[in-house]
Amino acid sequence: MKKYIVILLFSVVLLPACMDEPLMQPNTNMGNFEALWKIIDKQYCYLDYKHINWDSIHTVYQKEVSNTMETFDFFDLMGDMLDELKDGHVNLSSGFDRSRYWHWYMDYAPNFSSELIYNDRYLGENYRIADGFRYAKIANDSIGYIYYGSFSNEFSDTNMWYVMSYLKDCKGLIIDVRNNGGGSLDNSEQLASCFFEEETVTGYIRHKIGSGHSDFSVPVEIKTSANKKIQWQKKVAVLCNRMSYSATNDFVSRMKQAPNAIIVGDKTGGGSGLPFSSELPNGWTIRFSASPMFDANMNQTEWGIDPDEKVDLKSTDEAKGIDTIIEQAIKKLKE
């Protein structure tokens, strides 16, 4: 997610007087522990929202730290502490490992099978490719289907024009972003813009302006423009699951406001905090959520976005080569 990183950096540069200057810590295990704890304490944006008692976590984990710990053991301990944030955007990176929190999706049903979407009922073998898009006509050529697996995959308006032109005679369109873990917010906005007829406020962002856990700026509007070259004005169904995360979460939030869109499938994985990075005395880097993002109604989307039509992939359908979620989207588009 990179769309608003310039804004975030600008805010930090403008407002240093509002933030407590961090104390320099020695390059010891204890010093690095204190530096990491303090960075999260001052700059992480969801401590209050998630009801996390960060002081208590300090007490618990400080007892486990010693300056004689092996490097790998110390790294794992710090990763365990960061897991308390329950945030897939929080990563501690070193030259030998990167901590990660995966339970934001591992504790849920997958609701996706790549084998299903590539069988003859859907994409088949002869689907078309336009950069990151895999697309075809399905349901007796009545519905357009696009699978987009990562918002890190760049595409152009020219790509979108060809895709939309090929699918223009279809009654409706499916955009499948299940298992799309995110990427660029620029790509999220660009894709969403093809489904808006006018510029629309589709969300808000706030920036940290002080060291308190809830010291934020006033909400700043996030707008989705109408694409000047491409307009899909028929029905569109967006398919998502718990692995629809970060920039994909942003895309779903935008599409919730699109005039002809419906969200089908499972709740998204969330990950709406705009990431920022800092460095510890030993050179390890910590990436964390610094600026909370909201939907158009100022609701937090960190924990995910509910679909309009909740559908789970049935094992009985899967055994027959049928994707329950795609089939329900086809049904809704034909109504």
pLDDT digits (tens, 9 = 90+) for 253-282: 999 999 999 999 999 999 999 999 999 999
State how far the alpha carbon of 306 is from the alpha carbons of 84, 198, 253, 256, 317, in Å. 24, 25, 10, 10, 23
> Chain-wide mean pLDDT for the chain?
93
Q: Return the pLDDT at 319.
A: 97
The CA angle 242-89-201, to the nearest 5 degrees, is 75
pLDDT at 197 over 50: yes
Q: Return the pLDDT at 23.
A: 64
Q: Return the pLDDT at 5.
A: 34
Q: Return the pLDDT at 292.
A: 98
pLDDT at 10 over 60: no
Q: Return the pLDDT at 1.
A: 46
User: Rounded to whole angstroms, how far apart are CA atoms 179 and 197?
Assistant: 28
How many other β-carbons are positioned within 10 Å of the β-carbon of residue 13?
8
- Contacts of 122 by beta carbon, 8 Å cutoff, 6+ apart: 116, 136, 138, 145, 323, 326
pLDDT at 89 over 50: yes
Determine the average pLDDT of the residues in 66-88.
98
| Residue 298 zone, left/alpha/beta (φ > 0; ψ -120 to 50; rest) | left
Determine the average pLDDT of the residues in 280-291.
98
pLDDT at 302 over 50: yes
Q: Which long-range contacts (CB under 8 A, 24 or more apart) does 312-315 make?
A: 312/109, 312/111, 312/266, 313/109, 313/110, 313/111, 313/112, 313/113
pLDDT at 306 over 70: yes
State how far the alpha carbon of 175 is from the alpha carbons of 127, 157, 193, 230, 318, in Å. 14, 16, 14, 16, 20
Max distance between CA atoms of the chain, in angstroms, equals 68
pLDDT at 251 over 90: yes
Q: Return the pLDDT at 153.
A: 97
Listed residue (147, 25, 43, 22) closest to 89, CA to CA: 43
pLDDT at 7 over 80: no
Percentage of residues of the chain with pLDDT beyond 70: 93
Confidence grade of residue 24 (pLDDT, cut at 50, 70, 90): confident
Q: Return the pLDDT at 2.
A: 40
pTM: predicted TM-score of the whole model, two decimal places: 0.91
Q: Return the pLDDT at 22.
A: 52
8 Å CB contact between 2 and 276: no
Confidence grade of residue 175 (pLDDT, cut at 50, 70, 90): very high
